[in-house]
Amino acid sequence: MAFKQLSTTYISRHKYFTAREDSYETATGKIVDPYFVVELPTSACAMAITEDNKVILVSQYRYPVNEVFLELPGGFVDEGEQPNHAVARELLEETGYSFNSFQYLGITTANPGVLNNFTYFYLALGGRKTAEQKLDSNEEIEIILKPLEEARMLLQQHGIRQSMHALCLFYGFDFLEKMKV
């Protein structure tokens, strides 16, 4: 017997935040009621490297934790859009950079106990400034370019505290190391 959803009641429905209260039956017959789920769109981010081997980081204020974070560029995947196209679009919008190539690095979920979305990771190479930023109305993003070793040190010294972005950087640096061999 598989897990079986018994009921769903939506508490909030919004493009970027949907919450629901479910009940379900486990494989052993246990009823779990209530169980809360936050639905979010799929997202994508990239360890983006410029033509002169600098990592593009973005600095922005994050209201839920009342802090400014150093992060990777990225964002939500639009409905019907492929994650690799979404990350290229987000990089151009947030940074104004276009890239020669993209390498898929992996996929993760931030908190599968509550959140239902996944985040795709990419390594973007050969970035060139080709446009101005085209930010969403709620975005104020400062672009910060760091040489590869400085970005690695930031990661190792916990300067990148957005967990999914830190994981993308770990995968990106691992990929780059394997390319050297």
Tell whether 10 and 74 lie within a shared domain.
Answer: no
Tell whether 14 and 84 lie within a shared domain.
Answer: no
Tell whether 29 and 101 lie within a shared domain.
Answer: no
Q: Is the pLDDT of residue 1 over 60?
A: no
Tell whether 22 and 100 lie within a shared domain.
Answer: no
Tell whether 33 and 49 lie within a shared domain.
Answer: no
Predicted structure pTM score: 0.93
What's the confidence (pLDDT) of residue 21?
A: 96
Q: What is the CA radius of gyration of the chain?
A: 19
What is the CATH number for 109? 3.90.79.10
* Count of domains forming the chain: 2
Which residues, in sequence order, are bridge partners of residue 48? 56, 124
Please write the tens of the pLDDT for every residue from 76-131. 999 999 999 999 999 999 999 999 999 999 999 999 999 999 999 999 999 999 99
Angle (deg, nearest 10), helices 148-156 and 163-180: 130
- Residue corresponding to tokens 């020669």: 100
Tell whether 90 and 176 lie within a shared domain.
Answer: yes
Please write the tens of the pLDDT for every residue from 19-56. 999 999 999 999 999 999 999 999 999 999 999 999 99
Please write the tens of the pLDDT for every residue from 12-21. 998 878 999 9
Please write the tens of the pLDDT for every residue from 134-160. 998 888 999 999 999 999 999 999 999
Q: Are 141 and 135 in contact, with CB atoms under 8 Å apart?
A: yes
Cα torsion 43, 64, 58, 41 to 10°: value is: 10
- Residue corresponding to tokens 């979010």: 40
Quote the domain boundaries for residue 66. 43-180
